[in-house]
Structure 1
Amino acid sequence: MARLLPLLLLLFLTVLLSRLPSPCASLPIRLNLTHINSKFSNISIEDRNLLAIKRGKLRLAFISSRLSTSLVDVQTNVQYSNQEYSADLAIGTPPVSVSVLLDTGSDLIWTKCEQGSAYNPSASSTYSPLSCGSTFCQNELTSCSDGSTCSFYSPYGSATVGGTMGAETFSFGGTNVPSLAFGCSNSEMGSATTISGLLGMGGGQLSLVSQLGSEKFSYCLTPYDSQSTSPLFLGSLANPDSSSQTTPLGQSPNIPTYYYLSLQGITVGSTKLSIPSSAFAISSDGSGGLIIDSGTSFTMLVPSAYDVLKQEFQSQMGLPVASGNTFDLCFSSPSDGSFQPPKLIFNFQGADMDLPKENYLVSDAGGSLLCLAILPSDQSLSLFGNFQQQNMHIVYDVQGGNLYFAPAQCANL
């Protein structure tokens, strides 16, 4: 019996430790996000909208091609400049500041490491190459062909990023996180050459969310025309507001990167649209569904939903329809300042998102047009964009499988 006690004690401690949360899971992390429009101050609002729409359509095509093998391969037409918000953080010891793009539709964390880049792994005392035996070297983006170097290659349509996988200390708003697996890029092609790196927040193994063991993360996006940054919260700071509504948050079993919402209908004014139930269903081949995405500006809906929305919205607006070069449905701007558009409500499972008019109407053509900031999808997939998410505190409860949202003044969080 005396010999069994140490073994029983060891077994007890092993079980106890296995149930403890990840040491990084409770870290309170806050980052400030900057919208890409701040870099385009020298061009008109109309041109900014055109760039945003182009980025969104290219992104939609790339995600669709990745989800379904039965779709036409359109990756060769996709550009990498499809992101919307960037975050400043620090890498290495001593820490070096870098700006990376935030993306809930990607997993990999990577930054440039070639000569002339801000971050140089050889100058950091906390950098180490990732071994071939690491669990982070066992996925579709990584390989170990020479048996000693864990490398990565990540295609983004016509742009690609490649290099070696490493582990390094990252600093998020003053909070240090050691030994994060990341891609140290020494080869970028296409429009990937114009950015410094990416912060993947998807549901896959390599994402920041997964590596931290975070049960939740959240963001609150300030309006496009605001000069204020948008907060991103991880760990204990990512708590839903008391007034939040909640709806199921789904993930594909084949590609866990993307976050899906169950959209059951759309209401314009007081009219619930007659949209077929199949419009937002995920097909057996992996296509379809509605993905909530931080990297897409304007929501894009499959034709079976968008066409019904367009017809009813046009009927209720009561303004002359006008041709626009940017959006699909535009009206002559009202001269009466008291004009009120019809309400637009997204009816998710268990929750209704009643959008403020600033989240679905946008001024165009020098203010002479008022346009619906929702577009038709040319794929079998729909995306819920960040324009519709402005001034909403949105919490991704990844562990619990729920999305919480509530109206908020994001600049004040």
Structure 2
Amino acid sequence: MALLFKTQPFLFYLHLASCVLSLSSFSFSFTHGRSTTPNNSISLSFPLTSHRFNHLHQTDLQTSFVSESKQKASPRPRPRARASPASPYHYKTSFKYSMALIVALPIGTPPQTQQMVLDTGSQLSWIQCHKKKHTPPASFDPSLSSSFSILPCTHPLCKPRIPDFTLPTSCDQNRLCHYSYFYADGTLAEGNLAREKFTFSRSQSTPPLILGCATDATEDKGILGMNLGRLSFASQAKISKFSYCVPTRRGAGADQPGTGSFYLGENPNSRGFQYVNLMIFPESRSRPNMDPLAYTLPMQGIRMGGKKLGIPTSVFRPDAGGSGQTMIDSGSEFTYLVDEAYNKVREQVVGGRAGARLKKGYVYGGVADMCFDGNPTEIGGLIGDMVLELEKGVEISIEKERMLADVGGGVHCLGIGRSSMLGVASNIIGNFHQQNLWVEFDLPNRRVGFGKADCSRAAA
């Protein structure tokens, strides 16, 4: 789930029972013109604008895990490795990285460019919808698009089949399908479920996809939901692969964030990627703390400063109730660990040479208590490199120069938080620990690939 993080994490609760319903009536493929690549797809590239993500309206993990784990969708077993079918199109763009990975995508007919948070941890995509005379021009104006339509109350997605959701969808006064996202701070984002195209060129667009059209929200950027759910952009658009490359994060006071790359379809850099199979849980509906639609990695352990920490592998695997699941999430800034793993990391940091430099009594955002004053490169050198170990010898390596996040005021924190402080029982690998790394999601083969890169150069 998307969990971005500033000084206080504002979380919202997504209640959308429509996630459980079949989209079998919506079978489609991309339309495109003459092929310019061997796999009969078109290669497109678009620049993106840069913005800092101001309001933190990210999914509440605990609530979402409970709701999505109760879905009626049939579990899909792990398939045998096979050649991935070609995506119906080939699309490359770049994104700006501040605290969120922001992509700008052309939506509607004619297209209107919309900034969206790239989020592999959520399902429903949504955009801000207003008529231009009532709002800043960044939002989407449905009246200007000939392909836009709102779902009526009679649509199956507005007839939730699970009775224990709190206000998932409803009919508004105009008999249109309404949804609500509730924020923990008392605010909300709400609007209508709609159908709309993503229009990449005159000859290439998606069919109308289901997404949220928010008419009341506190942030002008939408969400590009890319998890395994049937309503995600990846699933509806029948994307076989997508990938992104997160550039090195710049300091909190930097005028411009780094620029990375985002691919829909084949990535020409994938030849050197190392792949690890996703964990599949057919019995996930009986695990209340499980998110069955997340990208769950088979994590094995953690090394710090060349030392293997004494954390049992079972800590990174879901137990009978689903606690301990390890997810990779582009929409979460920091990495979060369950207590048994977090405590071992903290023991290593505090008990090592960097312990004397610890900013005592300081807790960033209520979840991260390994923070320091002083030169981050020097302190990172005292901590050493960190390696997240996965199956098949695949590793996510974080060099000592990138161990600490600039949180402002001259304070730098280890980019790791305590999951229990969020009220969740899962491990989450956030985008802070995906810097200078290609991350590819190969959906037909249910695997994730990793490849080291200079992501700023990759975006050129």
TM-score interval, normalised by the smaller of the two chains? 0.7 to 0.9
> Paired residue for 2:180?
153
The corresponding residue for 2:315 is 279
Do structure 1's residue 380 and structure 2's residue 380 form an aligned pair? no
Alignment equivalent of 2:449, drawn from 404, 408, 413: 404
- Tell me the equivalent position of 1:67: 65
With over 3 angstroms needed to count, the CA separation of the structure-2 counterparts of 1:34 and 1:230, relative to structure 1, is farther
Amino acid at match of 1:164: N
Q: Give the match for residue 165 of structure 2.
A: none
How many Å separate the matches in 1 of 2:377 and 2:450? 33
Evaluate the alpha carbon distance shift between residue 161 and residue 361 of structure 1 in structure 2; reply closer, same or farther with a 3 A threshold: closer
Q: Distance in 1 between the 2:299 and 2:310 partners?
A: 13
Say whether residues 1:207 and 2:232 are aligned partners: yes
Contact 1:321 1:329 in 2 (8 A): no
Deviates more, 1:212-221 or 1:255-264: 255-264
User: How far apart are residue 287 of structure 1 and its match?
Assistant: 3.5
Give the 5 Å matches for 1:349-388: 349-350=391-392, 351-362=394-405, 371-378=413-420, 379-388=424-433
* TM-score when normalising by structure 2: 0.67
Distance 1:32 1:294, change over 3 A: farther
| Superposition deviation, residue 233 in structure 1 | 0.8
* 1:172–1:109 distance in 2 versus 1, CA, 3 Å: farther
Say yes or no: does 1:244 pair with 2:265.
no
Deviates more, 1:92-101 or 1:207-216: 92-101
The SS at the match of 2:198 is strand
**Would you say how many aligned residue pairs link Structure 1 and Structure 2?**
360
Letter in structure 1 aligned against 2:273 = S
* Deviation string, structure 1 residues 50-72 (Cα, Å, up to 9, x no partner): x9xxx5xx958x11232147xxx
Q: 1:127 to 1:348 in 2, by over 3 A?
A: same
Q: Is the 8 A contact 1:168 1:182 kept in 2?
A: yes
Q: CA deviation at 1:134?
A: 5.9
CA distance 1:212–1:311, change in 2 (3 Å): same
In structure 2, relative to structure 1, the CA distance for the partners of 1:251 and 1:265 (3 Å cut) is: same
Contact 1:85/1:295 (8 A) holds in 2: yes
Deviation of 1:385 (Å): 1.1
User: SS where residue 317 of structure 1 aligns?
Assistant: coil
2:264 is aligned with 1:266: no
In structure 2, distance between residues paired with 1:173 and 1:316? 55
Give 1:352 shift: 1.7
Would you say the 8 A contact 1:299–1:375 is kept in 2?
Answer: yes
Q: Which of structures 1 and 2 has the bigger CA Rg?
A: 1
Give the Cα–Cα distance (whole angstroms) in 2 for the partners of residues 166 and 336 of structure 1.
Answer: 48
RMSD: 3.7
SS at match of 1:230: strand
C-alpha distance in 1 between matches for 2:414 and 2:99: 21
TM normalised by structure 1 equals 0.74
- Cα distance in 2 for partners of 1:366, 1:382 equals 28
The structure-2 alpha-carbon separation of the partners of 1:400 and 1:305, relative to structure 1 and needing over 3 Å to count, comes to same
CA apart distance, 1:86? 2.0
Deviation at 1:283, TM superposition (A): 3.0
Contact 2:381 2:401 (8 Å CA) reproduced: no
Asked if the contact 1:29/1:234 (under 8 Å) is kept, the reply is: no
Shift, 1:410, TM fit: 0.9
Residues 349 and 383 in structure 2, CA contact (< 8 A), matched pair in contact too: no
Q: How does 1:8-407 map to 2 (within 5 A)?
A: 22-23=29-30, 28=43, 37=52, 62-68=60-66, 84-115=100-131, 116-117=134-135, 118-130=139-151, 142=169, 149-157=176-184, 158-172=186-200, 176-186=205-215, 188=216, 192-225=217-250, 227-236=257-266, 238=267, 241-250=270-279, 253-254=284-285, 255-317=291-353, 320-323=356-359, 325=362, 326=364, 327-331=368-372, 333=374, 339=381, 341-350=383-392, 351-362=394-405, 371-378=413-420, 379-407=424-452
**Partner Cα distance (1:349, 1:84) in 2:** 28
Q: Quick one: which amino acid aligns to residue 308 of structure 2?
A: K
Question: What SS does the corresponding residue of 2:332 show, helix, strand or coil?
Answer: coil
Q: Is the 8 A contact 2:126 2:213 kept in 1?
A: yes
Conserved 8 A contact 2:109-2:199: no
Letter in structure 2 aligned against 1:99: Q
Which letter does structure 1 place at the counterpart of 2:370? Answer: L
Q: 1:35 to 1:268 in 2, by over 3 A?
A: farther
Match of 1:13 in 2: none
**8 Å Cα contact 1:34-1:229 kept in structure 2:** no
Residue identity opposite 2:396 in structure 1: M
Amino acid corresponding to residue 246 of structure 1 in structure 2? Y
Instruction: Please list the CA deviations of residues 238-272 of structure 1 after superposition, one character each: whole Å capped at 9, or x if unmatched.
Output: 35533322222236644543211121111123321
Following TM superposition, by how much is the alpha carbon of 1:222 offset from its aligned partner in structure 2, in angstroms? 1.2
Structure 1 unmatched runs, 5+: 1-19, 41-50, 70-81
- Please list the CA deviations of residues 274-310 of structure 1 after superposition, one character each: whole Å capped at 9, or x if unmatched: 1133322213333331121112211111110011112
Q: Where in structure 2 are there 5+ consecutive unaligned residues?
A: 1-26, 32-39, 68-97, 163-167, 251-255, 286-290
Amino acid at match of 2:430: G
